[in-house]
Amino acid sequence: MNRSALNFIRKLRMHHSSFKKRSVINYGDTYNVINQHEPKKSPLTFLGGVRSLASAPSYYDTDDVTDSSSATAPFSLDKLYNPTEEHCQIRSLIRTFTADQVEPQANHYNKHELLNIGLFNQIQELGLDTLTLPEPYGAGMDATAVAIVHEELSYSDPGFCLAYLAHSILFINNLGLNGNKAQKDKWLLGADSSNHSEDNIRRIVGGMCMSEPGAGTDVLGMTTKATPSDDGKGWVLNGQKMWITNGTLDGKTTADVYLVYAKTGPERMDISQFIVSKGMDGFKLGQQIKDKLGMRASPTAELVFDNVFVPNENLVGEINGGALCMMRNLEIERVALAAMAIGIARRCVDEMVHYSKERKAFGKNIYKFGQIQKAIAESYAEYMAGKSYVYSVANGLDLQTQGNSLDTDGIKLYSASMAKNVADKAIQVMGGYGYVGEYNVERLWRDAKLLEIGGGTNESHHKNMMRDLARMNSLLA
């Protein structure tokens, strides 16, 4: 185990005991209503795939369902999902954190369309936002660790996890890969709470600005422009960015810092990336996007750039080199999004099994009916197929390189639709109860839909994958 990872796991253990003592109502100033309803008990470690942690139902050849607390995923699959002991420990600790801290607050913050800033700060205290960065900036963990964290958080709150992804992957990992030492020292050392005091810049919330009102999948068709300033000391940025996760935290102002893509030349590929921070003249919140179908605990906004002066030192990478920065970060973003889908699907299967063992119709438990068996069994098989695909890709992904787009597109394409379909089956299995918020699966269905759009639409994955497949003579194992 490398020293960064060892220190990270020690930090997780140290903070775990202190977090367990905190009440959910102390997460942030926005949580002013105590929910007196005790959450419905759910098997939070049901299909987890961690040795000695995750149990699965055992049907055998009898009509009786027996609790099989020792049943786990087959060892070969367990090694796929947790290839090292440190991965296993991270999953165990994040799962416990999610059950204790994320699960109790999920419905409230999603209902009120708020990001739980207090919980977000706890994520930062744990060092999860700098998970992929090498020393001295972070834990130095790999793509598999990214998948684990996003799967576990999304089991309870995909909306919160999406806000975490925008900060940790789209801002921090992106700058870690593409920024220079001065930029990383300024923004990323401060993002790691182990290096600074409680009130330091580590509590920033960041994001990335790429999509525009008229440029989504056709990202190279963006119209936001950066032109050299007259004094040669920087750039003047003009344009709008749309659908920006973490675009605002309070509905009135922007969050703290963003990586912004803008055109810097006449050619289609002439795109550069800049650091733009809150308070720069001309940089403002256009509007918060409210009343979204799902991912409501993740704030989304339009951001406006009106003659914003950006100093030369805020250029990330080379002039007109922004497309390369973009490509370097897209692969791990899609691993994270696919892992979120796995977390959603796992929770839905758990909820279906749990409900079908309690609910009775026509004098017997509904899991004994063929229609219910079909829905749950197929959902489980689809979930396992997606999980195996995601972790096989994550285990082989080098965060410092690119060129894995066929399968990073593939895992998101498959897993996003799979999660939505499994959530849909969960609603159907649970009937009217599945249609209401208390039973969680309707929220997960709404959240899953975003994964077919954000971070690359299904149609863009089709295009990208066909392009890569057309270059191949055959598929070789």
Tens of pLDDT, residues 411-467 = 999 999 999 999 999 999 999 999 999 999 999 999 999 999 999 999 999 999 999
For residues 469 and 406, the answer to whether their CB atoms sit within 8 Å is yes
For residues 256 and 277, the answer to whether their CB atoms sit within 8 Å is yes
- CATH domain 329-470 topology: Butyryl-CoA Dehydrogenase, subunit A; domain 3 (1.20.140)
Question: Residue 187 above 90 pLDDT?
Answer: yes
Average pLDDT, the chain: 87
Question: Residue 92 above 90 pLDDT?
Answer: yes
Is 125 assigned a catalytic role?
no
Among candidate residues 125, 151, 212, 333, the one labeled active-site is 333
The first and second tokens of residue 362, run together, are 């026509």
CATH architecture of 3-202: Orthogonal Bundle (1.10)
Q: What is the pLDDT of residue 196?
A: 42
Q: What is the pLDDT of residue 180?
A: 97
- Name 315's bridge partners: 274
Q: Residue ranges of the domains in the chain?
A: 3-202, 206-320, 329-470
Give the list of residues 6+ apart from residue 403 with CB closer than 8 angstroms, or none.
none
Q: What is the pLDDT of residue 8?
A: 78
18 burial (CB, 10 Å; 0-12 / 13-18 / 19+) is exposed
182 burial (CB, 10 Å; 0-12 / 13-18 / 19+) is exposed
In three-state secondary structure terms, 453 is: coil
pLDDT above 90 as % of the chain:
78
The first and second tokens of residue 388, run together, are 């195996």
Q: What is the pLDDT of residue 347?
A: 98
If you classify domain 206-320 with CATH, what class do you get?
mainly beta
75 confidence band (pLDDT: 50, 70, 90):
low
Give the list of residues 6+ apart from residue 227 with CB closer than 8 angstroms, or none.
235, 236, 238, 264
